[in-house]
Amino acid sequence: MYIPASLPVHVRPEMDRMAEYIPGESLEAFSSRTGIPIHQLVKLNSNESPYPPAPAVTHALGNHAFYNNYPDTNSTDLRSALATYTGVESKHIVVSHGSNELINLLWHIFLSVGDNIICCPPTFSLYTFITTFCGAYVLEVPRTEGYEVDVEGILAALTPETKLIVLCSPNNPTGNPLCEEDVLALLETGRIVMVDEAYVEFSQQPRGLAHLVPQYRNLVVMRTFSKWAGLAGLRIGYGIFPEWIVTYMKRAQCPFEVNVAGHIAAIETLHQLDYTLANVQRIVEERERLFTLLSHQPYLEPLPSQGNFILARIREEEIRMDELKRVVESYGILLRYFNHPYLRNFVRVTVGLPEHTERLALAFSKIENR
Ligand X SMILES: Cc1ncc(COP(=O)(O)O)c(C=O)c1O
Site residues, ligand X (CB under 6 A): 47, 98-100, 124, 168, 172, 196, 198, 224, 226, 232, 237
CB 170 → ligand X: shortest distance, Å?
9
Query: Cα separations (Å) of 255 from 97, 126, 169, 173, 250?
Result: 11, 23, 29, 32, 9
The full DSSP string for 145-180 is: TTS---HHHHHHH--TTEEEEEEESSPTTT-PPPPH
Closer Cβ to ligand X, 47 or 297, answer by number: 47
**Rounded Cα gap, residues 207 and 190, in angstroms:** 24
Contacts of 204 (CB under 8 A, 6+ apart): 177, 306
Residue 1 pairs with which residues in a beta bridge?
none
Any idea how long the chain is?
370
**Rounded Cα gap, residues 109 and 206, in angstroms:** 28
Closer Cβ to ligand X, 172 or 305, answer by number: 172
Closer Cβ to ligand X, 47 or 90, answer by number: 47
Q: Which of 306, 290, 310 is nearest to 360 (CA)?
A: 290
Angle 184-188-192 (CA atoms, 0-180°, nearest 5)? 90
Closer Cβ to ligand X, 212 or 232, answer by number: 232
CB 114 → ligand X: shortest distance, Å?
26
CB 326 → ligand X: shortest distance, Å?
25
E-strand ranges in the chain read 42-43, 93-96, 116-119, 137-140, 162-168, 192-196, 219-224, 237-240, 300-302, 309-314, 333-334, 336-337, 346-350
Based on the number of CB atoms within 10 Å of its own CB, is 49 exposed (0-12), middle (13-18) or buried (19 or more)?
buried
**Strands of 336-337's sheet, edge to edge?**
300-302, 309-314, 346-350, 336-337
CB 226 → ligand X: shortest distance, Å?
3
CB 283 → ligand X: shortest distance, Å?
15
Closer Cβ to ligand X, 162 or 224, answer by number: 224
Q: Which residue is nearest to ligand X (CB)?
A: 98
CB 235 → ligand X: shortest distance, Å?
6
CB 172 → ligand X: shortest distance, Å?
4
CB 100 → ligand X: shortest distance, Å?
4
Q: Are 297 and 335 in contact (CB under 8 A)?
A: no
CB 37 → ligand X: shortest distance, Å?
26
Closer Cβ to ligand X, 224 or 357, answer by number: 224
Closer Cβ to ligand X, 99 or 116, answer by number: 99
* 3-class secondary structure, 192: strand
Closer Cβ to ligand X, 182 or 323, answer by number: 182
Query: Cα separations (Å) of 104 from 20, 30, 112, 264?
Result: 15, 28, 13, 24
**Rounded Cα gap, residues 229 and 214, in angstroms:** 25
Closer Cβ to ligand X, 223 or 363, answer by number: 223
Q: How many CB atoms lie within 10 A of CB 53?
A: 24
